[in-house]
Structure 1
């Protein structure tokens, strides 16, 4: 009986130890199942249950470590994806990615703008249904976007035809996308809108053509008159006429060169403004007086200066050059003749005193839809103006920069067929030091208490 009792006691003791270990293991397993990866069984014994508990705790530690690594990898991947999405979304170029079947998998905002198709509609659709690509000769190249580049990356210039029918010139770069096994899984295409570049090329070509014309035009009479004076005996009256022609053409050539040099100096920030007190009446009289020796009989220049105008604090030489440009434009764009009026008066804007100096003509005028462009570099009243009237298209851009540098505004008011008025509005007192360059602006002006006096007719010379 005693032996049986001892056996029962030992069995109960061993069963309790095994049961406690198994309960600890069960509790730990349930904790892991619920997501608590830090839970451990902590079974400490020298028997098989202890070995099982140790193995379980080691496994739980490995799971916790691997899960932490996976979580960090997922966070890193999410951060990288977010950064890539931000980069792709912020690209100025259109990015289109397709899978191995030619379906769109990525379509950034620039691609939406280029194609005129929202990404929600493009994603998942065949790329050929979203973009139509044409060569310069009109050949359909859309099929190139539906397959991965087999011979490696390529690039070419083409045009994208939007769904609304507009054609946009683009530079396309293409490359294949590979999966982890190295197999081709699709392709990515970057399309860069090159409309601006082509416009710059057109402007450059047109500018070079214009400057060649503007430089050759005054050189022709200079060379012709000089050759006649050198090669033959010319009567004295003719000599004077030829010399006058040489001087006039030389002055025209000098004005073209001066405009180019000054404009380049403005763009490079090297043109300095030497501000000093300027009497408005003297300024206007000098400009009108100079032009009184140059215009032809079909034009009549008048001036009207209000009495008692305060002095301006400005660079007189640059203001004179600006008024020369405006008067020259007024004469040039009045091919049928007519009066050109130069006026100066007080312009009140309710805050501080200002002087308005305007130049008006009754020439061809400017179309309403081009008024906002006349102050741009290389701009003229219309596309054919360069050939019809000559010039470089820099004069008004030059004037606008000079006026802005004086804290002023350049205003254009025009009506096709009735003429134009350009007004320089300058403050009497300055709020800052002169600086170059500055963007264009608009303003208005009035004047009164003035007397008008015509000057004698004169002949116009060409304008840059």
Structure 2
């Protein structure tokens, strides 16, 4: 009986509270509608002239509203990863937009951004101006190519002067020896052969310096194409067949069909060729070098891997962090004897980074090495 009385009291109390709360709820709904209408009235519109102008710009451009919402943006802004939906992606850019809105003055800055996950970092020159009524216009130019060119200029003189002096000095010494041995046919033949070897090495060094400089000033992802990994791997193996035969190295390939990536086919083929040549150069006569491809999945992201393995001399752990530096050689004497320039792995690293990927090495002295070029797999969105 007592329990029934408690239930009735609870029901009566609930009805009383509900009746008392109804006016409050109606007031909150009216206030919500008023607030939404007020916000709609206070959000300024982008004029047709400004919208047309932004559409014609080659630079990335976006107009931001008073509540940090992106009211409009051109395709370049979305390509550079500045906009996702109706929000600004880089926090640094959002901070600049807010500063310009508060101060009412224009400003400029340099920012680093990333187009998408797995894509290389880009250097941006940003200009921002407040348009009034809370609107802010942001314009960004991709200066990545210019920054890379400046870096090339700074490094070029030091690298070239360091590396070219060795073959140039050798050629001069051999030329003087050849001049002094004009009456000794056997010495002339011997010095001439060495002179040709040093000249070939000098030519290869110059060619690789030019190739690295070209790669650093050329972004393959500005106008990428769908690249068949099958074609890249097979072309690289074919280019290295003669070198492998000359050293009695068994060159094998196990290529998974149908793998594709976005980028530049020539750059990727050159990178794989450098990996194979490096494996051949640092393998003993009769060794094995294999090229394999596969498509692993990591954290729901698809990748393509091109691996080059050998059973050569291997690399010491303390040298594995340095092998991708320009002109660095694990065994300097052997690298020079085999015609290595010390630029091959630097080219591979740069190519991997430019394609939004990476290159890694596993190695043990006396057991061999495996270099793995990992790239984002092409996703066909059709």
Tell me the TM-score range normalised by the shorter chain: 0.3 to 0.5
User: Which has the larger Rg?
Assistant: 1
Question: Taking structure 1 as the reference length, what is the TM-score of the superposition?
Answer: 0.39
Question: Taking structure 2 as the reference length, what is the TM-score of the superposition?
Answer: 0.46
